[in-house]
Amino acid sequence: MKEELINADKFQLIGQLAASISHEIRNPLTTTRGFLQLMARDNITAEIRNKFVNLAIESIVSANTIITDYLNFAKPNVEKIVPIDIKTEISNSIPLINSLLTISNIEMHIQHATDQPLLILGESKKLQQCLLNLLKNCIEAMPGGGKIMIHTSLESNLILMSIEDTGEGMTPLQIKSLGLPFYTTKDNGTGLGLMVVTSLLKAMNGRISFLSKPNKGTTCLIEFKRIS
Ligand code: ADP
Ligand code: MG
């Protein structure tokens, strides 16, 4: 019955999300329509036309991101549950954002407290998606550059992982709002990233929490059950 209640809760949330997503997608679509209409005028220069094309595309990309995030939440889709090693997943995720780290002037340090593999039951692609969402948030919190530290350790049958940044941090009130659909402090944020992370991690028996101080930085703590 508890499970049914949880499912009912989730369906309700999915329904609410679907309603707000329709609303959220209407904005970029309206923007795109506006730019297409402007482009249809004959008295505009090639330069301005180009600008409108780019703005229209940007809006479509943003609508697409919202839909992708929503689908990931509605159907976390962790289907191919197999043993995966947290350390391998971390080192496979880094190359995907390396260039972003370089242009953002961010140093990355990785430290593992144990030589043993850190095996969990999960899906490689989905775990990497979580890591990338979290790392992207760290990067976006450090517009002037900074440091990201990833640390893993083992405590009896628990795998502990932390991702720490030296970014703008959050107030206690902001921390409370994390993971709420559409909660974002960014001009072009979707506010769906952490909701997706939480839901994917849950499907892999992981738990996530945050420690943060404004202007000091943020530490994200993730806990997994280890399999042997
Ligand atoms: P988005 O990145 O699209 O805003 P998220 O769900 O990924 O959506 O994050 C929601 C909000 O949480 C962000 O807008 C930001 O305010 C805050 N946040 C998340 N991670 C961090 C971090 N590492 N440092 C500071 N703020 C963060
Ligand atoms: Mg994000």
What is the spatial distance between Cα 150 and Cα 42, in angstroms, rounded to a whole number? 54
Q: Relative to the alpha carbon of 183, which ligand is closest? A: 1
Is-contact 201 194, C-beta < 8 A? no
Q: Would you say the CB of residue 146 lies under 6 angstroms from ligand 1?
A: no
Residue 116 has pLDDT above 80, yes or no: yes
Ligand 1 close to Cβ of residue 24 (< 6 A): no
Which of 30-34, 116-120, 195-199 is predicted least confidently?
195-199
Q: What is the C-alpha separation between 136 and 170, in angstroms, rounded?
A: 16
CA of 184 to the centre of ligand 1 (A): 6
Q: Is the CB of 84 under 6 A from ligand 1?
A: no
Q: Is the CB of 198 under 6 A from ligand 1?
A: no
Query: Which two structure tokens, joined as six digits, stand for 21?
Result: 């997503």
SS3 75: coil
How do residues 202-216 score in pLDDT, each as one tens digit? 989 999 999 999 999
- Predicted TM-score of the model (pTM): 0.78
Full set of structural domains in the chain with CATH: 2-74 (1.10.287.130), 82-225 (3.30.565.10)
> Are the C-beta atoms of residues 45 and 79 closer than 8 Å to each other?
no
Q: What is the pLDDT of residue 203?
A: 87
For residue 190, the model assigns a pLDDT of 80
Quick one: which ligand is closest to 194's CA?
A: 1
Q: Would you say residue 225 has pLDDT above 90?
A: yes
Ligand 1 within 6 A of 135 CB? no
Q: For residue 85, what are the CA distances in angstroms to 41, 128, 159?
A: 56, 11, 11
Residue 193 CA to ligand 2 center (angstroms) comes to 4
What confidence score (pLDDT) does residue 10 get? 62
- Give me the pLDDT at residue 182, please: 79
User: Residue 22: pLDDT above 90?
Assistant: no
Q: Encode 14-48: b = buried (16+ Cβ within 10 Å), e = exposed.
A: eeebeeebeebbeebeebbeebeeebeeeeeeeee
Give the mean pLDDT of 129-158.
Answer: 95
* pLDDT value, residue 102: 92
